[in-house]
Amino acid sequence: MGFDLVVLYEHPEWQKPLFAALDARGVNYGVFDLKAAAFDPDAVPAARLYFNQASPSAYVRGNTRAVPLNLSLMRSLELRGARVLNGSRAFSLELRKSEQVALMQGLGVAHPKTLAFNEVSAALERWQGGWPALVKPEQGGSGARMFLLNEPEELNKLLREQPDLWLPDNLLLLQEYFETRPGQGIVRMEFLGGKLLYAMRVISHGAFNLCPSEACNPEGGGDSHCVIPEAKPVKPVEFYPYPEVPSQAVEAGERIVAAGGLDVAGIEYLEAADGRLIFYDVNANSNLRKPIGEAFGFDPFERVVDYLQAQLKLT
């Protein structure tokens, strides 16, 4: 009680750099750990400003209940007039990749062909995107439970052998696959307050977990705190500052952020063989990477604290 700011979080490592920056700045803040929590809808809000830092990937860490509690808490806060950064609207968009596709279609932003499905035969009957194709969960996060399939029978076999891939919401996606040049990778743009903070190239070496947090993908491939179960790539995922990010990519990212109600966001796209920029992922829980920010001349977590303090003045 009596805090100016409360950070809603679930991951034990991701928020440590933010908490350290808030401590150093002397911000009057509290934390609400969503892993095992309770709230009284009659007793909220208890702070001037809330900052949602929860992730859809909570379920792969055994924290499945964090997501529904977080949504209920944020909706209760908003109904009582509280201000929540990356609130229920933004979080709902991050939880539902089909919503992200629909949003980008409405904005005229190029994106992969996508089919949401809850039954394999229905998916194979309707799929128009060709093979190979990606299968991924509707509620994703950190590249969890993604597979590259070369033919239809692989989808049947995969879900026969691993029926738990339907969890947590019994909804999966088939998505058009675009091959990227090995040395080019994908591009991730970080937005803060609706404006570009920085962009970086991410070279995956075959990995799907491209989480930029140093806790998950340490510099040089050291010990990771990530529990996403995937085969180790040939090399660690590499992150490089990308100051030459095209203006049309930034403009598309700004429109996605504005239309999605995102205060802080990571927007990912790839460069197709025909030169098109294909946008495929919207992240509301934007894990920043300190070495990338420092390559641009600033500490990204200090920028976040600047933003939070500015929002407190408006609240």
DSSP per-residue codes, 182-241 = TTT-EEEEEEETTEEEEEEEEE-TT-S-----TTTS-GGG---------PPPSS--EEEE
The token pair that represents 266 in the structure block: 């990571």
The token pair that represents 213 in the structure block: 């947090």
Predicted pLDDT at 142: 66
Predicted pLDDT at 235: 78
- Domain positions in the chain: 3-93, 114-176, 180-313
Looking at domain 180-313, which CATH architecture does it have? Answer: 2-Layer Sandwich (3.30)
Residue entry with tokens 């404006």: 195
In the predicted model, residues of the chain with pLDDT beneath 50 are 229, 231
Q: pLDDT tens digits for 36-93?
A: 999 999 999 989 999 999 999 898 888 999 999 999 999 999 999 999 999 999 999 9
Predicted pLDDT at 204: 80
In CATH terms, is domain 114-176 a member of 3.30.1490.20? yes
Predicted pLDDT at 130: 95
Predicted pLDDT at 220: 66
Backbone Cα Rg of the chain: 19
Predicted pLDDT at 215: 76
Quote the pTM value.
0.93
CATH fold match for the domains 114-176 and 180-313: no
Looking at domain 3-93, which CATH architecture does it have? Answer: 3-Layer(aba) Sandwich (3.40)
